[in-house]
């Protein structure tokens, strides 16, 4: 155990949902001059050394949090001192850590942001109002205990400042990006025949707008297209779950929805940055994610980086990532007609697909990439250290 490294910055990442992909990307794209200073601490929600978390009857939410806190403590004990800690996870148990160290929080939501995206995040408000107020007050303390807060959009930054009374000068908007090492540009100009392949990538199928895309597939009069759906098996409609079956942990499955939708395939069990997932991006001609509730869209940025015209729901901070009609298309929430119009135009117009995809790639090369995002965050943290 190295106890003498006060210049170290620890990156503590929640391993669920989109944070897992960002953990991998941040670790890979860390600026070379900062590599020696970084420690990467994944916070998984199981298999820790916390025996209380494993007690029979322990509520899953409490058990999950205790496991994460155990991993956080183990990681922090690697060094006696730290220059800073970067938390891409938030829970009440972290408050003493945030108060003890120069800490930063990486987040994309606040209560008012979640209310704006109702009903998809309503579970956060099902507790009695006194408990909700106590929870929000505690989260406010967590935010105010940080030296700085990194937000992935101005939309979420405004919500955090409003809901948690955070001083604007401690709020830093650093827009996200794609890992260009994994998502190279794919030249599709020679694809003049064969079906146009539409790619959807979203775990929580209904929230990500998967049902809207399926409805389009069943109703459209357009021809010569195929759809690849990358999602979680337990979030699919019941009739599709019967076809897919139960996909075991660590397993992958690809099935056709024939005879009902013979041009639609469902892929389950694909993980972030894997060759199987990257191959689907390479084979695609259009990326479509008509999400109804999201703070941002890393999958959308990965599609843009690979040169795909991306149609993404205009919710949360997503409008800050796409220049509508230039680098992609923003889909108004819950408007299937706009989705159909945009899809059917792109299916019939290969030069338009190429033009928008090329502009999308350039926007990622110029700005929406992980190395730029990380350099900006290190610049802010290092400037804070100098002021200290």
pLDDT tens digits, one per residue of 321-353 = 999 999 999 999 989 999 999 999 999 999 999
**What is the end-to-end Cα distance of the chain in Å, rounded?**
27
- Domain locations in the chain as residue ranges: 9-177+369-387, 196-366
- Helices and strands, counts by H and E, the chain: 13, 13
Same fold, 9-177+369-387 and 196-366: yes
**Segment 83-135, tens digit of pLDDT:** 999 999 888 899 999 999 999 999 998 999 999 999 998 877 788 888 888 88
**How many other C-beta atoms can be found within 10 angstroms of the C-beta atom of residue 106?**
25
Closest CA to 105 of 21, 43, 13, 42: 13
Residue labelled with tokens 């956080």: 72
The answer to whether residues 163 and 330 touch, using CB atoms and an 8 Å cutoff, is no
Q: How far apart are CA 107 and CA 120, in angstroms?
A: 18
Strand partners, 105: 87, 149
Q: Which CATH class is domain 196-366?
A: alpha beta
Angle 278-87-184 (CA atoms, 0-180°, nearest 5)? 20
| Token pair for 298 | 């890393």
On the question of pLDDT at 3 being above 50, the answer is: no
* Gap between the Cα atoms of 328 and 350, Å rounded: 14
What's the CATH superfamily of 9-177+369-387? Glycogen Phosphorylase B; (3.40.50.2000)
Torsion angles phi and psi, residue 70, rounded to 5: -60, -45
Q: What is the pLDDT of residue 387?
A: 77
Q: Per residue in 227-264, pLDDT tens?
A: 999 999 999 999 999 999 888 777 899 999 999 999 99
Q: What angle do CA 44, 48, 54 make, to 5 degrees?
A: 110
């Amino acid at each position: 155990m190295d106890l003498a490294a006060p210049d170290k910055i620890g990156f503590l990442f929640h391993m669920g949902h989109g944070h897992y992909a960002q953990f991998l990307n941040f670790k890979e794209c860390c600026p070379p001059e900062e590599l020696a200073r970084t420690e990467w601490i994944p916070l998984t929600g199981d298999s820790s050394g916390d025996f209380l978390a494993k007690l029979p009857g322990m509520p899953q939410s409490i058990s999950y949090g205790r496991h994460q806190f155990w991993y956080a403590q183990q990681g922090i004990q690697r060094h006696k001192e730290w220059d800073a800690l970067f938390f891409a996870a938030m829970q009440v148990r972290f408050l003493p850590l945030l108060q003890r160290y120069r800490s930063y929080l990486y987040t994309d939501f606040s209560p008012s942001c979640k209310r704006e995206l109702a009903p998809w995040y309503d579970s956060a408000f099902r507790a009695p109002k006194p408990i909700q107020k106590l929870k929000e007050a505690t989260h406010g303390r967590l935010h105010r205990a940080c030296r700085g807060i990194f937000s992935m959009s101005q939309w979420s930054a405004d919500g955090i400042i409003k809901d948690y009374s955070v001083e604007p000068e401690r709020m830093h908007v650093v827009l996200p990006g794609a890992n260009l090492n994994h998502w190279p540009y794919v030249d599709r100009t020679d694809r003049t025949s064969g079906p146009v392949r539409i790619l959807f990538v979203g775990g929580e199928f209904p929230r990500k707008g998967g049902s809207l895309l399926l409805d389009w597939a069943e109703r459209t009069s357009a021809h010569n297209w195929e759809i690849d759906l990358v999602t979680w098996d337990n979030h699919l409609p019941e009739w599709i779950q019967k076809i897919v079956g139960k996909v075991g942990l660590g397993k992958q499955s690809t099935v056709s929805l024939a005879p009902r939708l013979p041009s639609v395939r469902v892929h389950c069990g694909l993980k972030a940055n894997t060759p199987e997932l990257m191959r689907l991006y390479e084979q695609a001609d259009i990326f479509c994610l008509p999400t109804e509730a999201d703070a941002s869209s890393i999958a959308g940025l990965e599609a843009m980086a690979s040169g795909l015209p991306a149609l993404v729901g205009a919710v949360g901070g997503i409008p800050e990532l796409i220049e509508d009609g230039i680098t992609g298309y923003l889909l108004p929430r819950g408007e299937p007609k706009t989705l159909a119009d945009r899809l059917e135009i792109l299916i019939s117009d290969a030069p338009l697909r190429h033009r928008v995809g090329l502009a999308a790639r350039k926007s990622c090369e110029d700005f929406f990439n992980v190395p730029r995002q990380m350099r900006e965050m290190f610049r802010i943290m290092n400037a804070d250290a100098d002021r200290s």
